[in-house]
Structure 1
Amino acid sequence: MSWLGKLFGSKPEQPELAPAGPLGLRLKGAVGVESLPFRVAGDRLVFVAPEGNQLIEAWGEVELGGGSRLHRYYLTDDAFVQVSTTAGQVDDVKLFVFHETRNPPNQAAFNDWVKRGSLIGAPQLELGGQQYDRVWGDMGTPGWAPPVVFDEKVYNKDFREPDYDLTHYAMLYQRQVPGLDRYEYVLVSAEDYGPDEYCITFSVGVDVSQADLTIT
Protein backbone atom coordinates (compact mmCIF):
# COMPACT_ATOMS: atom_id res chain seq x y z
CA MET A 1 0.00 0.00 0.00
CA SER A 2 1.34 3.50 -0.87
CA TRP A 3 2.00 6.15 1.84
CA LEU A 4 -1.07 8.01 0.55
CA GLY A 5 -3.15 4.88 0.99
CA LYS A 6 -1.84 4.44 4.51
CA LEU A 7 -2.72 8.06 5.31
CA PHE A 8 -6.25 8.13 3.94
CA GLY A 9 -7.01 4.45 3.92
CA SER A 10 -7.80 2.36 0.88
CA LYS A 11 -10.03 -0.51 -0.05
CA PRO A 12 -8.55 -3.95 0.55
CA GLU A 13 -7.42 -5.71 -2.58
CA GLN A 14 -10.03 -8.08 -3.96
CA PRO A 15 -8.87 -11.65 -4.61
CA GLU A 16 -8.43 -12.43 -8.29
CA LEU A 17 -11.30 -14.42 -9.75
CA ALA A 18 -10.46 -17.78 -11.24
CA PRO A 19 -10.79 -17.77 -15.03
CA ALA A 20 -13.99 -19.26 -16.39
CA GLY A 21 -13.73 -22.79 -17.70
CA PRO A 22 -16.14 -24.71 -19.95
CA LEU A 23 -19.77 -23.53 -19.65
CA GLY A 24 -18.51 -20.62 -17.53
CA LEU A 25 -17.79 -22.86 -14.54
CA ARG A 26 -15.07 -21.56 -12.22
CA LEU A 27 -13.47 -22.23 -8.86
CA LYS A 28 -15.43 -20.41 -6.10
CA GLY A 29 -18.32 -19.83 -8.49
CA ALA A 30 -21.71 -21.45 -7.97
CA VAL A 31 -23.98 -23.97 -9.66
CA GLY A 32 -27.73 -24.37 -9.27
CA VAL A 33 -29.25 -27.66 -10.41
CA GLU A 34 -32.77 -27.99 -11.83
CA SER A 35 -33.75 -30.95 -9.68
CA LEU A 36 -37.43 -31.28 -10.68
CA PRO A 37 -36.88 -33.92 -13.42
CA PHE A 38 -34.99 -36.09 -10.95
CA ARG A 39 -37.58 -35.68 -8.21
CA VAL A 40 -40.32 -36.66 -10.67
CA ALA A 41 -38.38 -39.82 -11.53
CA GLY A 42 -38.66 -40.86 -7.89
CA ASP A 43 -37.23 -44.24 -6.96
CA ARG A 44 -36.53 -45.15 -10.57
CA LEU A 45 -33.22 -43.34 -10.02
CA VAL A 46 -30.58 -44.11 -7.43
CA PHE A 47 -29.23 -40.63 -8.20
CA VAL A 48 -30.47 -37.80 -5.95
CA ALA A 49 -29.77 -34.29 -7.25
CA PRO A 50 -28.22 -31.71 -4.91
CA GLU A 51 -30.66 -28.96 -3.88
CA GLY A 52 -30.19 -25.20 -4.13
CA ASN A 53 -27.12 -23.22 -5.17
CA GLN A 54 -23.88 -25.12 -4.71
CA LEU A 55 -20.52 -23.44 -4.20
CA ILE A 56 -17.71 -24.79 -6.38
CA GLU A 57 -15.28 -25.55 -3.57
CA ALA A 58 -12.59 -27.24 -5.66
CA TRP A 59 -11.66 -27.78 -9.29
CA GLY A 60 -10.01 -30.91 -10.62
CA GLU A 61 -8.12 -31.07 -13.91
CA VAL A 62 -7.25 -34.24 -15.81
CA GLU A 63 -5.14 -34.27 -18.97
CA LEU A 64 -6.11 -37.27 -21.10
CA GLY A 65 -3.82 -36.56 -24.05
CA GLY A 66 -4.64 -35.72 -27.65
CA GLY A 67 -6.22 -32.43 -26.62
CA SER A 68 -8.78 -34.19 -24.41
CA ARG A 69 -9.36 -33.07 -20.84
CA LEU A 70 -11.68 -33.67 -17.90
CA HIS A 71 -12.77 -30.76 -15.71
CA ARG A 72 -14.32 -31.61 -12.36
CA TYR A 73 -16.09 -28.96 -10.31
CA TYR A 74 -16.62 -30.19 -6.76
CA LEU A 75 -19.76 -28.81 -5.11
CA THR A 76 -20.80 -28.21 -1.51
CA ASP A 77 -23.12 -31.19 -1.07
CA ASP A 78 -20.83 -34.11 -2.03
CA ALA A 79 -21.41 -33.73 -5.77
CA PHE A 80 -19.39 -32.73 -8.81
CA VAL A 81 -20.00 -31.56 -12.37
CA GLN A 82 -17.72 -33.36 -14.82
CA VAL A 83 -17.12 -31.77 -18.22
CA SER A 84 -15.24 -33.62 -20.96
CA THR A 85 -13.64 -31.45 -23.63
CA THR A 86 -11.58 -31.96 -26.77
CA ALA A 87 -9.57 -29.02 -28.09
CA GLY A 88 -11.62 -26.77 -25.83
CA GLN A 89 -14.98 -27.97 -27.17
CA VAL A 90 -17.47 -29.57 -24.78
CA ASP A 91 -18.14 -33.24 -25.54
CA ASP A 92 -20.07 -34.40 -22.50
CA VAL A 93 -21.42 -33.09 -19.18
CA LYS A 94 -22.36 -35.29 -16.25
CA LEU A 95 -23.46 -34.55 -12.71
CA PHE A 96 -22.32 -37.04 -10.07
CA VAL A 97 -23.12 -37.40 -6.38
CA PHE A 98 -20.89 -39.37 -4.04
CA HIS A 99 -22.78 -42.50 -2.97
CA GLU A 100 -20.26 -44.39 -0.86
CA THR A 101 -16.61 -44.19 0.20
CA ARG A 102 -14.46 -47.03 1.50
CA ASN A 103 -10.99 -46.65 3.02
CA PRO A 104 -8.47 -49.45 2.46
CA PRO A 105 -6.16 -49.56 5.52
CA ASN A 106 -2.94 -50.17 3.58
CA GLN A 107 -1.47 -50.56 0.09
CA ALA A 108 -2.07 -54.31 -0.02
CA ALA A 109 -5.79 -53.78 0.62
CA PHE A 110 -5.83 -51.01 -2.00
CA ASN A 111 -4.16 -53.30 -4.55
CA ASP A 112 -6.98 -55.81 -4.07
CA TRP A 113 -9.31 -53.23 -5.65
CA VAL A 114 -7.27 -52.76 -8.83
CA LYS A 115 -5.80 -56.19 -9.53
CA ARG A 116 -7.10 -58.52 -12.24
CA GLY A 117 -10.52 -59.93 -11.37
CA SER A 118 -11.39 -57.19 -8.87
CA LEU A 119 -14.76 -55.42 -8.66
CA ILE A 120 -13.41 -52.40 -10.56
CA GLY A 121 -13.46 -53.71 -14.12
CA ALA A 122 -16.06 -56.44 -13.70
CA PRO A 123 -18.60 -56.69 -16.57
CA GLN A 124 -21.50 -55.72 -14.27
CA LEU A 125 -21.86 -53.83 -11.02
CA GLU A 126 -24.74 -53.77 -8.55
CA LEU A 127 -25.49 -50.66 -6.53
CA GLY A 128 -28.63 -49.45 -4.78
CA GLY A 129 -30.55 -52.53 -5.91
CA GLN A 130 -29.79 -51.87 -9.59
CA GLN A 131 -27.45 -53.53 -12.10
CA TYR A 132 -25.11 -51.49 -14.30
CA ASP A 133 -23.08 -52.60 -17.32
CA ARG A 134 -19.47 -51.67 -17.89
CA VAL A 135 -18.90 -48.82 -20.37
CA TRP A 136 -15.12 -48.62 -20.67
CA GLY A 137 -13.12 -51.50 -22.09
CA ASP A 138 -14.77 -54.10 -24.31
CA MET A 139 -18.42 -53.40 -23.48
CA GLY A 140 -20.49 -56.58 -23.39
CA THR A 141 -17.45 -58.83 -23.09
CA PRO A 142 -17.86 -61.21 -20.14
CA GLY A 143 -14.26 -60.90 -18.96
CA TRP A 144 -12.68 -58.40 -16.59
CA ALA A 145 -11.28 -55.14 -18.03
CA PRO A 146 -8.45 -53.18 -16.39
CA PRO A 147 -9.36 -49.86 -14.76
CA VAL A 148 -8.62 -46.65 -16.65
CA VAL A 149 -5.72 -44.86 -14.94
CA PHE A 150 -5.40 -41.08 -14.89
CA ASP A 151 -3.90 -38.35 -12.71
CA GLU A 152 -5.92 -35.44 -11.35
CA LYS A 153 -4.67 -32.09 -10.05
CA VAL A 154 -7.06 -30.49 -7.55
CA TYR A 155 -7.20 -26.76 -6.91
CA ASN A 156 -8.91 -25.33 -3.85
CA LYS A 157 -7.29 -22.23 -2.38
CA ASP A 158 -5.75 -20.86 -5.57
CA PHE A 159 -6.47 -21.63 -9.20
CA ARG A 160 -2.79 -21.17 -10.10
CA GLU A 161 -1.29 -23.93 -7.93
CA PRO A 162 -2.87 -27.32 -7.19
CA ASP A 163 -3.40 -28.14 -3.51
CA TYR A 164 -2.81 -31.82 -4.17
CA ASP A 165 -2.86 -34.49 -6.84
CA LEU A 166 -3.98 -38.09 -6.96
CA THR A 167 -4.09 -41.11 -9.26
CA HIS A 168 -7.42 -42.70 -10.20
CA TYR A 169 -7.96 -46.33 -11.18
CA ALA A 170 -11.50 -45.97 -12.48
CA MET A 171 -14.31 -47.70 -14.33
CA LEU A 172 -17.62 -46.33 -15.60
CA TYR A 173 -20.89 -48.31 -15.59
CA GLN A 174 -24.35 -47.44 -16.92
CA ARG A 175 -27.96 -48.61 -17.08
CA GLN A 176 -31.00 -47.51 -19.07
CA VAL A 177 -33.56 -46.19 -16.58
CA PRO A 178 -36.97 -47.83 -17.22
CA GLY A 179 -39.60 -45.35 -18.36
CA LEU A 180 -37.08 -42.52 -18.73
CA ASP A 181 -35.13 -41.39 -21.76
CA ARG A 182 -31.87 -41.29 -19.86
CA TYR A 183 -29.00 -43.36 -18.57
CA GLU A 184 -27.78 -43.52 -15.00
CA TYR A 185 -24.08 -44.03 -14.36
CA VAL A 186 -21.86 -45.37 -11.60
CA LEU A 187 -18.25 -44.23 -11.56
CA VAL A 188 -16.05 -46.37 -9.32
CA SER A 189 -12.57 -45.07 -8.58
CA ALA A 190 -9.72 -46.39 -6.47
CA GLU A 191 -7.89 -43.20 -5.51
CA ASP A 192 -4.21 -43.10 -4.55
CA TYR A 193 -3.24 -39.84 -2.80
CA GLY A 194 0.31 -40.76 -1.95
CA PRO A 195 2.03 -42.56 0.90
CA ASP A 196 -0.52 -44.70 2.73
CA GLU A 197 -3.57 -42.60 1.81
CA TYR A 198 -6.21 -44.38 -0.28
CA CYS A 199 -9.95 -44.44 -0.77
CA ILE A 200 -12.52 -46.12 -3.01
CA THR A 201 -15.39 -43.90 -4.18
CA PHE A 202 -18.70 -44.90 -5.73
CA SER A 203 -20.40 -41.96 -7.48
CA VAL A 204 -23.83 -42.06 -9.14
CA GLY A 205 -24.47 -39.67 -12.03
CA VAL A 206 -26.61 -38.60 -14.95
CA ASP A 207 -26.13 -36.65 -18.16
CA VAL A 208 -27.03 -32.97 -17.87
CA SER A 209 -27.23 -30.08 -20.32
CA GLN A 210 -26.40 -26.44 -19.76
CA ALA A 211 -30.15 -25.84 -19.44
CA ASP A 212 -30.17 -28.05 -16.33
CA LEU A 213 -27.57 -25.84 -14.62
CA THR A 214 -27.59 -22.23 -13.46
CA ILE A 215 -23.94 -21.16 -13.44
CA THR A 216 -22.79 -17.99 -11.69
Structure 2
Amino acid sequence: MFSWFKKKDKTPPPPSSPEILGLRLGGAFELDSLKLRLIEPQLIIEGAAETQLIKAVGEVHLDHQTRLLRFYTDDDGFIQVLIHGSSEADISEVKLYYFYESRPIDTETQWKKILDHDIVQPFWTLEEHRFEKVWDNIKPVAMTEKTWFQDGTISETDQFVMVYDRDCGEGQMESLLIAGEEKFIEQRPERCLAISTGFDLSSTDFKLIG
Protein backbone atom coordinates (compact mmCIF):
# COMPACT_ATOMS: atom_id res chain seq x y z
CA MET A 1 0.00 0.00 0.00
CA PHE A 2 2.99 2.28 0.38
CA SER A 3 4.44 1.47 -3.02
CA TRP A 4 4.21 5.10 -4.13
CA PHE A 5 6.95 5.95 -1.63
CA LYS A 6 9.40 3.63 -3.32
CA LYS A 7 12.12 5.27 -5.37
CA LYS A 8 11.51 4.92 -9.06
CA ASP A 9 14.23 3.43 -11.19
CA LYS A 10 16.02 6.23 -12.95
CA THR A 11 16.75 5.77 -16.63
CA PRO A 12 20.38 6.77 -17.25
CA PRO A 13 20.70 9.78 -19.53
CA PRO A 14 21.80 9.08 -23.09
CA PRO A 15 25.52 9.51 -23.72
CA SER A 16 26.45 13.05 -24.62
CA SER A 17 27.74 13.87 -28.09
CA PRO A 18 31.51 14.28 -28.59
CA GLU A 19 33.17 17.69 -28.34
CA ILE A 20 36.58 18.90 -29.48
CA LEU A 21 38.30 22.24 -30.15
CA GLY A 22 35.31 23.82 -28.43
CA LEU A 23 33.02 22.52 -31.19
CA ARG A 24 29.84 21.05 -29.72
CA LEU A 25 26.22 20.25 -30.47
CA GLY A 26 24.22 23.48 -30.36
CA GLY A 27 27.36 25.61 -30.56
CA ALA A 28 28.39 28.08 -33.24
CA PHE A 29 31.54 29.28 -34.95
CA GLU A 30 32.62 32.03 -37.30
CA LEU A 31 34.90 31.51 -40.30
CA ASP A 32 37.65 33.94 -41.20
CA SER A 33 35.99 36.15 -43.82
CA LEU A 34 39.30 37.19 -45.42
CA LYS A 35 40.36 33.58 -45.98
CA LEU A 36 36.97 32.75 -47.48
CA ARG A 37 37.22 35.61 -49.96
CA LEU A 38 40.74 34.56 -50.96
CA ILE A 39 40.13 30.83 -51.50
CA GLU A 40 36.52 30.56 -52.68
CA PRO A 41 37.35 31.51 -56.31
CA GLN A 42 39.67 28.46 -56.44
CA LEU A 43 37.12 26.05 -54.96
CA ILE A 44 33.89 24.44 -56.12
CA ILE A 45 31.94 25.77 -53.13
CA GLU A 46 30.25 29.16 -53.36
CA GLY A 47 28.80 31.50 -50.77
CA ALA A 48 29.95 29.81 -47.56
CA ALA A 49 28.32 31.47 -44.56
CA GLU A 50 30.70 33.18 -42.16
CA THR A 51 28.60 32.24 -39.12
CA GLN A 52 27.43 28.64 -38.76
CA LEU A 53 25.40 26.78 -36.13
CA ILE A 54 26.15 23.16 -35.24
CA LYS A 55 22.93 21.15 -35.62
CA ALA A 56 24.28 17.58 -35.29
CA VAL A 57 27.47 15.75 -34.32
CA GLY A 58 28.75 12.51 -35.85
CA GLU A 59 31.43 10.09 -34.68
CA VAL A 60 33.17 7.33 -36.65
CA HIS A 61 35.59 4.86 -35.03
CA LEU A 62 38.11 3.87 -37.70
CA ASP A 63 40.15 1.67 -35.33
CA HIS A 64 40.76 1.38 -31.58
CA GLN A 65 42.29 4.86 -31.34
CA THR A 66 41.44 6.72 -34.58
CA ARG A 67 38.19 8.62 -34.93
CA LEU A 68 36.44 11.03 -37.24
CA LEU A 69 34.31 13.69 -35.55
CA ARG A 70 31.88 15.61 -37.74
CA PHE A 71 30.07 18.79 -36.73
CA TYR A 72 27.14 19.34 -39.10
CA THR A 73 26.01 22.92 -39.61
CA ASP A 74 22.99 24.88 -40.80
CA ASP A 75 24.97 25.84 -43.93
CA ASP A 76 24.82 22.35 -45.55
CA GLY A 77 28.33 21.47 -44.47
CA PHE A 78 30.36 19.93 -41.68
CA ILE A 79 33.71 20.35 -39.97
CA GLN A 80 35.52 17.01 -39.94
CA VAL A 81 38.23 16.36 -37.36
CA LEU A 82 40.58 13.37 -37.69
CA ILE A 83 42.06 12.39 -34.33
CA HIS A 84 44.48 9.58 -33.44
CA GLY A 85 43.95 9.46 -29.69
CA SER A 86 41.92 11.14 -26.97
CA SER A 87 43.25 14.70 -26.77
CA GLU A 88 43.43 17.74 -29.02
CA ALA A 89 47.18 17.14 -29.34
CA ASP A 90 46.31 13.98 -31.29
CA ILE A 91 44.43 15.85 -34.05
CA SER A 92 46.03 15.37 -37.46
CA GLU A 93 43.50 17.04 -39.78
CA VAL A 94 40.61 19.50 -39.73
CA LYS A 95 38.54 20.12 -42.87
CA LEU A 96 35.35 21.97 -43.74
CA TYR A 97 33.21 20.00 -46.19
CA TYR A 98 30.14 21.13 -48.10
CA PHE A 99 27.52 18.80 -49.56
CA TYR A 100 27.57 19.03 -53.34
CA GLU A 101 24.97 16.43 -54.30
CA SER A 102 23.02 13.50 -52.92
CA ARG A 103 21.83 10.90 -55.43
CA PRO A 104 19.14 8.48 -54.21
CA ILE A 105 19.72 4.78 -54.87
CA ASP A 106 16.50 2.86 -55.40
CA THR A 107 17.48 -0.70 -56.25
CA GLU A 108 19.79 -3.38 -54.93
CA THR A 109 21.40 -3.63 -58.39
CA GLN A 110 22.26 0.09 -58.38
CA TRP A 111 23.64 -0.18 -54.85
CA LYS A 112 25.89 -3.12 -55.70
CA LYS A 113 27.19 -1.38 -58.83
CA ILE A 114 28.03 1.77 -56.89
CA LEU A 115 29.89 -0.18 -54.19
CA ASP A 116 31.76 -2.42 -56.64
CA HIS A 117 32.59 0.02 -59.44
CA ASP A 118 31.60 3.65 -58.97
CA ILE A 119 32.94 4.92 -55.64
CA VAL A 120 36.56 3.88 -56.13
CA GLN A 121 38.09 5.01 -59.41
CA PRO A 122 41.59 6.21 -60.40
CA PHE A 123 40.18 9.75 -60.46
CA TRP A 124 36.89 11.66 -60.31
CA THR A 125 35.90 14.63 -62.44
CA LEU A 126 33.61 17.25 -60.95
CA GLU A 127 32.76 20.50 -62.76
CA GLU A 128 35.66 19.81 -65.15
CA HIS A 129 38.11 19.53 -62.24
CA ARG A 130 40.09 16.30 -61.92
CA PHE A 131 40.47 14.85 -58.40
CA GLU A 132 43.08 12.14 -57.85
CA LYS A 133 42.49 9.11 -55.64
CA VAL A 134 44.09 9.52 -52.19
CA TRP A 135 44.02 5.99 -50.74
CA ASP A 136 45.48 2.80 -52.27
CA ASN A 137 42.52 0.51 -51.56
CA ILE A 138 40.47 -0.84 -54.45
CA LYS A 139 37.22 -1.09 -52.46
CA PRO A 140 35.49 1.69 -50.49
CA VAL A 141 36.44 2.09 -46.83
CA ALA A 142 33.53 0.85 -44.72
CA MET A 143 32.61 2.81 -41.61
CA THR A 144 29.62 3.41 -39.34
CA GLU A 145 28.74 6.89 -38.17
CA LYS A 146 26.78 7.51 -34.97
CA THR A 147 25.03 10.88 -35.11
CA TRP A 148 23.54 12.97 -32.31
CA PHE A 149 20.83 15.54 -33.17
CA GLN A 150 19.62 18.60 -31.30
CA ASP A 151 16.21 17.03 -30.64
CA GLY A 152 17.90 14.29 -28.60
CA THR A 153 17.64 11.53 -31.22
CA ILE A 154 20.58 9.36 -32.23
CA SER A 155 21.01 7.46 -35.49
CA GLU A 156 23.55 5.22 -37.19
CA THR A 157 24.53 5.22 -40.85
CA ASP A 158 26.77 2.77 -42.68
CA GLN A 159 29.09 4.50 -45.13
CA PHE A 160 31.38 3.25 -47.90
CA VAL A 161 33.91 5.95 -48.68
CA MET A 162 36.73 7.10 -50.94
CA VAL A 163 38.59 10.43 -50.81
CA TYR A 164 40.10 12.33 -53.74
CA ASP A 165 42.24 15.51 -53.87
CA ARG A 166 43.19 18.16 -56.38
CA ASP A 167 45.81 20.92 -56.32
CA CYS A 168 44.12 24.29 -56.85
CA GLY A 169 47.44 26.16 -57.05
CA GLU A 170 49.04 28.64 -54.64
CA GLY A 171 49.24 25.95 -51.97
CA GLN A 172 45.49 25.37 -51.85
CA MET A 173 44.11 21.82 -51.98
CA GLU A 174 40.51 20.74 -52.40
CA SER A 175 39.17 17.36 -51.28
CA LEU A 176 36.34 15.30 -52.74
CA LEU A 177 34.51 12.88 -50.45
CA ILE A 178 32.45 10.17 -52.17
CA ALA A 179 30.25 8.11 -49.86
CA GLY A 180 27.65 5.43 -50.41
CA GLU A 181 25.35 5.78 -47.40
CA GLU A 182 22.89 3.23 -46.04
CA LYS A 183 20.48 3.62 -43.16
CA PHE A 184 17.74 1.19 -42.10
CA ILE A 185 14.36 2.67 -41.16
CA GLU A 186 11.77 0.14 -40.01
CA GLN A 187 14.02 -2.59 -41.44
CA ARG A 188 14.02 -1.00 -44.90
CA PRO A 189 17.22 0.44 -46.35
CA GLU A 190 17.46 4.06 -47.42
CA ARG A 191 20.51 4.60 -49.63
CA CYS A 192 22.21 7.43 -51.46
CA LEU A 193 25.50 8.47 -53.02
CA ALA A 194 26.68 11.59 -51.19
CA ILE A 195 29.24 13.88 -52.84
CA SER A 196 31.01 16.56 -50.78
CA THR A 197 33.95 18.90 -51.36
CA GLY A 198 36.16 20.38 -48.68
CA PHE A 199 39.27 22.27 -47.71
CA ASP A 200 41.69 22.40 -44.78
CA LEU A 201 41.04 24.57 -41.72
CA SER A 202 43.75 25.80 -39.38
CA SER A 203 43.14 26.91 -35.79
CA THR A 204 43.14 30.54 -36.95
CA ASP A 205 40.56 30.01 -39.71
CA PHE A 206 37.59 29.93 -37.33
CA LYS A 207 36.59 31.13 -33.89
CA LEU A 208 33.94 29.92 -31.48
CA ILE A 209 31.03 32.24 -30.79
CA GLY A 210 28.75 29.90 -28.89
TM over 0.5: yes
**Relative to 1, partners in 2 of residues 1:147 and 1:35: Cα closer, same or farther, differing over 3 Å?**
farther
For 1:116-131, list aligned pairs within 5 A.
118-131=117-130
Deviations 1:41-63 (A, max 9, x none): 35322133621321100000111
Q: Once structures 1 and 2 are overlaid, which stretch shifts more, 103-112 or 191-200?
A: 103-112
Asked if residue 170 in structure 1 is aligned to residue 170 in structure 2, the reply is: no
Q: Write 1 or 2 for the structure with the bigger share of strand.
A: 2
Paired position in structure 1 for 2:200: 207
Amino acid at match of 1:100: E
Task: Provide the rounded CA distance (Å) in 2 between the counterparts of 1:147 and 1:126.
Answer: 18
Task: Provide the rounded CA distance (Å) in 2 between the counterparts of 1:34 and 1:167.
Answer: 33
**Relative to 1, partners in 2 of residues 1:63 and 1:132: Cα closer, same or farther, differing over 3 Å?**
same
TM-score relative to the length of structure 1: 0.81
TM-score relative to the length of structure 2: 0.83
3-state SS of 2:46 partner: coil
Gaps of 5+ in 2: 1-15
Amino acid at match of 2:77: A
Over 3 Å off, 4+ runs: none
Paired position in structure 2 for 1:136: 135
Deviations 1:79-111 (A, max 9, x none): 000001111221110000001110011232222
Paired position in structure 2 for 1:87: 85
Aligned residue pairs, count: 188
CA RMSD of aligned residues (A): 1.8
Amino acid at match of 2:94: V
**How many angstroms does 1:158 deviate by?**
6.0
Paired position in structure 2 for 1:3: none
Q: Once structures 1 and 2 are overlaid, which stretch shifts more, 184-193 or 84-93?
A: 84-93
**Relative to 1, partners in 2 of residues 1:62 and 1:130: Cα closer, same or farther, differing over 3 Å?**
same
**How many angstroms does 1:125 deviate by?**
0.3
Amino acid at match of 1:188: I
Q: Identity of counterpart residues, as a percentage?
A: 30
Identify the match of residue 155 of structure 1 among 141, 148, 171.
148
Task: Provide the rounded CA distance (Å) in 2 between the counterparts of 1:163 and 1:170.
Answer: 21
Asked whether the equivalents of residues 47 and 184 of structure 1 are also in contact (C-alpha less than 8 Å), the reply is no
3-state SS of 2:62 partner: strand
Amino acid at match of 2:101: E
Asked whether the equivalents of residues 159 and 179 of structure 2 are also in contact (C-alpha less than 8 Å), the reply is yes
Task: Provide the rounded CA distance (Å) in 2 between the counterparts of 1:134 and 1:32.
Answer: 31
**How many angstroms does 1:40 deviate by?**
2.4
